[in-house]
Chain A
Amino acid sequence: MSSERGIVATGVYIPQSRLDGDEIEAAWETSAPVSRAAVPNADEDTLTMAVTAGRDAIESSSREPRAVDHLAIGTTTPPLDEEEFAPRAASALGLREDTELDVATQSPAAGADALLSAAAADGPALAVVSDAPTGNPAEVGQRVGAGAAAFLFDESGAVVFADAATRSRDAPGIRFRERGSDTVEQLAITTYERETIRDLVSTAVDGLDVDHAAVTGASLYQPTADIPHRIARALPYEAESVERGTVVTDIGDAGAATTAIGLLAALEESAPSSVTVAGFFGSGATAIALGFETRAAIDTGVSAAIENGVSIPYAAALRERGHLGETEVAGGGAHVSLPSWQRTLPQRYRLEAGQCPDCGAVAFPPEGACPDCHERVAFDALELPRTGAIVAVTVIGQGGAPPEFVKVQRRDGPFAVAIVEVSSDDGAARFPVQLTDCDPEAVSVGDRVVGRFRRIYSVEGVTRYGLKFVPE
């Protein structure tokens, strides 16, 4: 590994919907563990968030997706208990089929595993930490959040990876999820938890071979805002440095992603020659510390991502997360088989269109005869931009959606369906899209929209993903 290998670009994604602490206090008549938590939309999961953040990092690096040699994803909450999801993330990001894939899970320490995997790889390597834990609304559910952070590693990093250190101990029950359960549990044996977390994380961080006096930012394990400061009591850091890397109060406990997003926040303000550390923790228990030295300031965009957001009522948050109950829908899904859907992934993930070599018209999807000259031609590949304008739009209210969309609609509410026109230098194309993350009544013909990777619908237990659109 080159001594200058490190982070060349970063990406971040935090779901738009936020649950304010006031809502939790009003609902439960108790003080809220966080002041604000991000709530994943019903059409979001750790895969969609990972793709959005990963794409952000690749775009900021000015590298082509196909140049990425390695993808590592860390999460406690993969979309399925069993089945690889990294290939879908790689496909949606436009990576090559021979890109190395690595998934870390099992605890929030998986975030560090993903970062280490990319740091140790050769060539451009993308680490994405994406998480959206679920908890009983009466307990852990009061503090859970969601989000994703992405780090593109390569030689000559703006932020050089300096060292890693690990400590582990047989200490279960601090944060766990039983087989087959969606719900994160904790035994809540306060002193046992605090001491285990503090001892393991602080000794791991202290064991880093970095100039601890130069540390200006520290993202320490943060299920709640007080824990990082308890850990830091055993470390020689300013309170301000720890504060800089603490984001849980603003986004909620996003499992593995909280410490990773905290690392972005700590890096955002790091000056050249300063040192930033991250201390991940996983119940069981293990702590992994990472140290970075800043060579050049890096713009992570994390502050804006944290500040942007739309507050939603408590009942809406429970509904989006699926806590208010789901009903079975008669009729099943549309008769589009899984193999048929797979055929169209280049269009659904990346808007791959075709251009007629004879008349120049753009065909989307690029199959069949040319839409303009009606000749049967071999289209030239053309990737359409992800931004466009609405040319026709309607609102599908509760009760109006085709059956395969009913479950998500009951959680997320009415949605708009638009025909979007996108234009490039090579021509324009139109296609129908579902809009998300917006008030469907507030969009109209002429509005600009941008594509986002989301869950489209699930049938026969398999979720189909693709682009939806949100107001630009």
Chain B
Amino acid sequence: MTDAYIIGAGQSDFGSFPSESYRSLFDDAFDEAVESVDAEFDTDRIDEAFLGTLGVGGRQLGLSGPAVTEHLGLHGIPTTRVENACAASGYALRQAVMAVRSGMVDVALAGGYEVMTDMSGDHTKWWLGVSGETEWERLSGTTFAGVYAQMASAYMREHGATKEDISRVAVKNHANGAQNPHAQLGFECSLEDAMNAPDVAAPLNLYHCCPTTDGASAVLVASEDAARELSDAPVRVAGAGAASGRVGLFQRDSLTRIPASETAAKRAYEAAGVGPADLDFAEVHDCFAIAELAAYEDLGFCDRGEAPRLLREGVTDPDGDLPVNTSGGLKSKGHPIGATGTGQVVEAFAQLRGDAHVQVADPTVGLTHNVGGSGGGVTVHIFERVDGGAL
């Protein structure tokens, strides 16, 4: 079995672009991914594509994947649209890695896209509550902000965490996102700003919630032979872990952790032969601030209840022991649902090649963590720089 390598990664700007389409946004991401390949890259080398989207708005609910690849001129290649809510493109990457490792595919395209801001607020909220246990969670009167807020209420009760603890996620991620030209909310915020914003779903306020975002991202996954030929510094997919969980928060044993994240991480660490202590950085799924705290614990960065301490002590700041969300995270960079998973890989690829906007010092191992819904589907990928750069 060949290893799978990332040889290119790119994203569109993330933001509010109501006049763009899912295809025009993917054009930008694809172009950036192709340009990032070190060698001259003929897009005819792409054998197959896996593209993630929830399909917000319902505009092209069927066959949007082939609609994208045909639009790009990748004529005739097999394309699969992957739907796992906010983890759609994390799972698209997983499919691409499996296809390359199996030997059926030499170069695969993984990516995602979402257009969310071209409709009324009511229409948007309609789509933001359909990835939980719809018949029960949604019909108790809540969108996703409310579900994560319930998680926050239980976490604060269980661990004595405070609004200040949760607000530190926003401060850190905005500071990072302010350096990222692709970020939707590329400005800094103070702890005071983050604590005093209007409530969205108490205890979560505006600064504890990611924005609604239009955007696309694309990643080129290659076999070892193709990576050797095309890249001066390919990034190895060292571990690909994934897991499912009960789709409704209320259906799970714990309201303060995401069991599918724990399982996916365990699988990824085992596959990569590394542990949390070996990581040089991580991009975690901070759709809501509480999700970043839960991620620290689910991914083994610290013990249960210790996430607020990590934030307080700056452990996850860019100059800390384990920088998290140097891209700005979903909070500042934006969260175009289907594009988020491979969007995280854009940052991991840049970090491991020394090209990041907020560059961590000489990283060799990084992790991406992509959560669908409130934890119904999770992927964790571990990436490694190749010793000496090239294969």
A residues within 8 Å of B by Cβ? 329-332, 334-336, 340-341, 344, 365, 371, 391-397, 399-406, 409, 415, 417-419, 430-434, 441, 444-446, 456-457
Known: A332-B126, A334-B139. A392 touches B150 (CB 8 A): yes
A419 and B150 contacting across the interface, CB-CB below 8 Å: yes
Quick check: which of B199-207, B297-305, B347-355 contacts chain A, the rest being far away? B199-207
A415 and B141 contacting across the interface, CB-CB below 8 Å: yes
B202 and A432 contacting across the interface, CB-CB below 8 Å: no
The digit string for B96-138, where 1 denotes a CB below 8 A from any CB of A, is: 0000000000000000000000011111011011100011111
**Majority secondary structure, A binding face:** mixed
Known: A334-B129, A432-B136. A445 touches B202 (CB 8 A): no
| Chain A to chain B contacts (Cβ below 8 Å), 25 pairs | A331-B125, A332-B126, A334-B130, A335-B130, A336-B139, A344-B135, A391-B255, A392-B150, A392-B151, A392-B255, A393-B153, A394-B152, A396-B146, A397-B199, A401-B125, A402-B129, A403-B123, A403-B125, A417-B141, A417-B146, A418-B150, A419-B249, A419-B250, A430-B250, A444-B153
The digit string for B184-210, where 1 denotes a CB below 8 A from any CB of A, is: 000000000000000111111000000
**Cβ distance B239 to chain A, nearest Cβ, rounded Å:** 26
In angstroms, Cα B246 to Cα A404, docked, is: 25
- Return the chain A residue nearest B132 by Cβ: A432
Chain A residues within 8 Å of B134, by CB: 334-336
B140 at the interface (CB under 8 A from A): yes
- Return the chain B residue nearest A417 by Cβ: B142
**Given pairs A336-B134, A393-B150, A399-B121, 14 additional interface contacts (CB within 8 A):** A331-B123, A331-B126, A332-B126, A334-B134, A344-B135, A365-B136, A393-B153, A394-B146, A395-B149, A400-B143, A402-B125, A409-B141, A417-B141, A434-B140
Chain A residues within 8 Å of B145, by CB: 394, 400
B residues within 8 Å of A by Cβ? 119-123, 125-126, 128-130, 134-143, 145-146, 149-154, 157, 199-204, 246, 248-251, 255
Chain A residues within 8 Å of B199, by CB: 395, 397
A394 and B135 contacting across the interface, CB-CB below 8 Å: no
- The residue in B146, B149, B246 that gathers the most chain A C-beta atoms within 10 A of its C-beta is B146
A457 and B139 contacting across the interface, CB-CB below 8 Å: yes
Chain A residues within 8 Å of B154, by CB: 391-392, 419, 445
- Return the chain A residue nearest B142 by Cβ: A417
Chain B residues within 8 Å of A331, by CB: 120, 122-123, 125-126
Known: A371-B246, A400-B143, A434-B140. A419 touches B255 (CB 8 A): yes
**Cβ distance A318 to chain B, nearest Cβ, rounded Å:** 23
A400 and B130 contacting across the interface, CB-CB below 8 Å: no
A400 and B146 contacting across the interface, CB-CB below 8 Å: yes
A371 and B251 contacting across the interface, CB-CB below 8 Å: yes
Chain B residues within 8 Å of A340, by CB: 135
In angstroms, Cα B120 to Cα A14, docked, is: 39
Pick from A330, A341, A394, A430: contact of B202, CB under 8 Å:
A394
B139 and A445 contacting across the interface, CB-CB below 8 Å: no
- Return the chain B residue nearest A397 by Cβ: B199
- Return the chain B residue nearest A457 by Cβ: B139
